[in-house]
């Protein structure tokens, strides 16, 4: 991305952060998406972009084997940037944003961790703590226990200030997605680790999750690097991200009988339909697996080959 484009988009990001339209993580993702787009279309300015440039990007990305979801993320960032630059009078091109065609994204059930997988992930941190309770290790345990127990988005967790925590009511006041205020509810394990972390950390900033020196907020990029390490050490075979902890929170609650409307409220969803869209399919499959047993299929005659294979994985 050339200097002119970079200057324009950083001005848009600055205003979006001031107004809380975009969180820190969204800015990082949008910036990377825009860089990816301009690497493909070449040294063009925003003002010179045409519909053909966007269509060419999609065609080239699909030819490279990029996923439809990845392509859509890039197009979404480009549309956002053009819309902002047009509204602020920086560019006057006539691209009709509503006519931009995007690849279809196949609906997928949400990915979540089972109880066994959660235990594997947490046990890695427990093992590290056994060799010494360094502030880095306590901070990490505190974050992941908090994410699992509250269903918070990572940017919501990293934005928490100590003054926002009410230990008496076990509530944390946050500004959620779309700049909507809401409260996170936490329980025994989160309280234990937060208090332990606060006792250990000598901080000079207001944020709960701070750098090791305590002088600044723990950055998203640093959290990602830490997460990748623990994910590797946990030896969990499935692919998962930090956001998977939010899906795990919701799915485990639903599997344990918590009503859908309550889970929707705890997640901070604007309506029940959003929660249903994400989790109904996953819950139905999980419940079906719990219900079904091999003996239910005794009506199928076993062949000699099947009998020989009994006991094999």
Residue-level pLDDT at 209: 96
Average pLDDT score over residue span 203-222:
92
Higher pLDDT, 186 or 105: 186
User: Are 94 and 125 found together in one domain?
Assistant: no
Residues 134 and 67 in one domain: no
Which backbone phi and psi does 183 adopt, to 5 degrees? Answer: -125, 140
Residue 160 and residue 258 in one domain: yes
CATH for 91: 1.10.150
Is there a domain that residue 186 lies in? Answer: yes
Specify whether 132 is located in the same domain as 14.
no
Q: Is the pLDDT of residue 309 over 70?
A: no
What digits encode the pLDDT tens for the residues 87-103? Answer: 888 887 777 777 887 77
**What are the Cα distances from residue 152, in Å, to 11, 140, 157, 185, 265?**
29, 15, 6, 10, 12
Give dist(CA 253, CA 143) in Å, integer. Answer: 19
Least confident range of 46-55, 191-200, 229-238: 46-55
**Boundary-marking domain end, from 68, 99, 130:** 99
SS (H, E, C) 296-311: HHCCCCCCHHHHHHCC
Residues 85 and 141 in one domain: no
Q: Which of 244, 247, 250, 214 is nearest to 231 (CA)?
A: 244
Q: Is residue 296 part of a domain?
A: no
Last residue of a domain, one of 99, 134, 151: 99
Q: Which domain holds residue 63?
A: 3-99
- Is residue 132 domain-shared with residue 194, that is, in the same domain? yes
Residue 310 has pLDDT above 70, yes or no: no
pLDDT at 303: 65
- Answer whether residue 313 shows pLDDT above 60: no
Element (H, E) at 165: strand 165-166
Tell me, yes or no, whether 229 lies in a domain.
yes
What domain count does the chain have?
Answer: 2
Whether the predicted pLDDT of 147 surpasses 70:
yes
299 belongs to a structural domain: no
Residue 306 in this model has a pLDDT that exceeds 70: no
User: Taking residues 121-148, what's their average pLDDT?
Assistant: 94
- On whether both 191 and 250 belong to a single domain, the answer is yes
Does the residue 106 lie in any domain? no
Per-residue confidence at 276, pLDDT binned at 50, 70, 90?
A: confident
Comparison of pLDDT for 152 and 5, the residue scoring more: 152
- Of 102 and 12, the one with more pLDDT: 12
Q: pLDDT tens for residues 216-236?
A: 999 999 999 999 999 999 999
Looking at the structure, tell me whether residues 39 and 119 fall in a common domain: no
User: pLDDT value at position 307?
Assistant: 53
């Amino acid at each position: 991305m050339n200097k002119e484009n970079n200057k324009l988009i950083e001005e848009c990001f600055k205003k979006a952060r001031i107004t809380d339209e975009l969180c820190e993580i969204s800015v990082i993702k949008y910036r990377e998406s825009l860089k990816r787009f301009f690497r493909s279309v070449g040294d063009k300015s925003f003002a010179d972009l045409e519909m053909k440039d966007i269509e060419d990007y999609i065609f080239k990305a699909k030819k490279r084997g990029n996923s439809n979801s990845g392509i859509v993320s890039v197009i979404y960032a480009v549309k956002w940037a053009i819309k902002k630059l047009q509204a602020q009078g920086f560019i006057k091109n006539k691209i009709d944003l509503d006519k931009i065609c995007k690849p279809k994204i196949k609906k997928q059930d949400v990915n979540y961790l089972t109880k066994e997988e959660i235990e594997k992930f947490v046990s890695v941190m427990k093992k590290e703590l056994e060799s010494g309770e360094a502030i880095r290790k306590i901070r990490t345990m505190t974050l992941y226990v908090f994410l699992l127990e509250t269903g918070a988005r990572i940017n919501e967790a990293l934005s928490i200030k100590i003054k926002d925590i009410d230990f008496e009511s076990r509530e944390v006041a946050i500004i959620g997605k779309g700049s909507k205020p809401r409260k996170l509810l936490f329980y025994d394990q989160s309280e234990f680790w937060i208090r332990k972390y606060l006792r250990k950390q000598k901080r000079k900033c207001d944020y709960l999750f701070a750098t090791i020196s305590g002088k600044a907020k723990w950055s998203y990029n640093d959290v990602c690097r830490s997460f990748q390490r623990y994910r590797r050490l946990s030896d969990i075979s499935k692919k998962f991200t930090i956001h998977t902890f939010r899906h795990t929170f919701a799915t485990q609650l639903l599997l344990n009988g918590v009503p859908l409307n309550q889970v929707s409220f705890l997640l901070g969803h604007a309506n029940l339909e959003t929660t249903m869209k994400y989790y109904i399919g996953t819950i139905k499959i999980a419940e079906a697996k719990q219900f079904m047993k091999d003996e239910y299929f005794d009506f199928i005659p076993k062949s000699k080959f099947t009998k020989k294979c009994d006991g094999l994985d």
